Structures are given as C-alpha cells and as structure tokens.
Amino acid sequence: MNRSRNLFARAVPAAVLSCVLACAFTGSAIADQSEQSKLKALQRALAAPQEQPEEFSAKSIVFDKDSESPAATVQAPQRAAAGDCALLSSDVATTSVDFQIQFKLGSAELSPVSENTLQQIAKILALTPERCVFVEGHTDATGRPDANMRLSRDRAETVVRFITDRAGVLRSRLITVGKGSTETLKNLSPTDPKNRRVVFKVVS
C-alpha cells in the first residue's frame, strides 16, 4: 500500500510539470502566430494600392497652343513625396495594425523583448519607401492623463527612432502621435495592461 502511494506521489508532480511545460509552449506558439499574423497584416496594408488623397492632388490643365480654351485632357495628379507626410490631416483614411510593444515600467525605454518585432516591422516598412505611416502610442488609464499623454508620445518617438536607425527608413515618412489613455480597447477595463500598445496606421 505504501509503495503504491509513493509511486503515485512521484507520478503526480511529473504529470503536472509535463502539463505546465506543454501549456507554456502552446501559449508561446499562439503568441508567435499572433505576431506573425500582425506582421503579415502590416505588409498587406503597405502593399495595397494607394488612393490619391485630395490634399495631395496636383492637377494641371493643359492649354492648346492655338487656343485660349483648355484642352480636353487633364494631366494625372502627382503623388506627394515622402517629405509631405507631415502635412497629412489626422482624419485621413488609414489601415491600422497594433502591436504589443513592451517598454520598461513607466518609461519610454524599449524592452529588449520587443526588439525583434520592431526589426521585422522596420524591414517591412523599408520595402515600401513611398508610404506614409502614423505611429501611435497608447497607454492604459493608470496614472495621470497628462503624464500618460506624454509617455505615449515619447514611446511612439522611441519606436520611430529604432526603426529609422535600424533599417534606414526615412524619418519624414513616419508621423508620431501620442494618444495616452484616450482610446482604450473595447471590452477591456481602461486599466488593463493590454491597452499599452503601439498602432501603425498606413495611409490608404
């Protein structure tokens, strides 16, 4: 009887440990899949055909040399250069992809665990040098709203600095925005840590 108890006692911890390890690896795999899915979504958004925003249009009318009236043809509008990204209005149409970029607590200093994700994002952005992208920092509602606003803006700047330094992406393509805790995720408590994120908004 005692021998049976000892065998059971040794078997249970082993079974529990096996389950914990399996669950941990499964959770890690799910997280990796989610990140890969978001990277692919960002790539699709950048590769999608871009509409010509009205504020970037530069139509010109061609006049016939022998007539004072304009000719029937109108030259196609020219797309703005990357240097004009800062002139975009905040309500321009965009495609959003959010990433759980990690920072040190209460700081804009990037956590090493997020460097690989940002390196992948930088490579994707480098493939489409003509696209403008808003980089938005978001926090949860813990702390003072004014401090959260500054922190979110500083974190967006940190992300942009990392991307431009590592991949040679033009700084003028990326518009940093701090949202603080003004746009927390739906169906979550405003203080939930998942609200701490960086959103990449590709201009359509």
Which residues are within 8 A (CB) of 118 and not within 5 positions of it... i.e. 6 or more apart? 101, 110, 159, 162, 163, 166
| H helix or E strand, kind and range, residue 196 | none
Residue type, 138: H
The pLDDT of residue 201: 97
Is the Cβ–Cβ distance between 196 and 155 less than 8 Å? no
Q: How confident is the model at residue 90 (pLDDT cuts 50, 70, 90)?
A: confident
* Bigger pLDDT: 178 vs 26: 178
CATH class of the domain defined by 2-53+80-203: alpha beta
DSSP summary character for residue 110:
B
Q: How confident is the model at residue 186 (pLDDT cuts 50, 70, 90)?
A: very high
The pLDDT of residue 82: 45
Q: Which residue has the tokens 């990690």?
A: 102
* Bigger pLDDT: 100 vs 14: 100
The pLDDT of residue 96: 96
Nearest to 120 by CA among 161, 166, 178, 85: 166
The per-residue pLDDT for range 115-157, each reduced to its tens digit, is 999 999 999 999 999 999 999 999 999 999 999 999 999 999 9
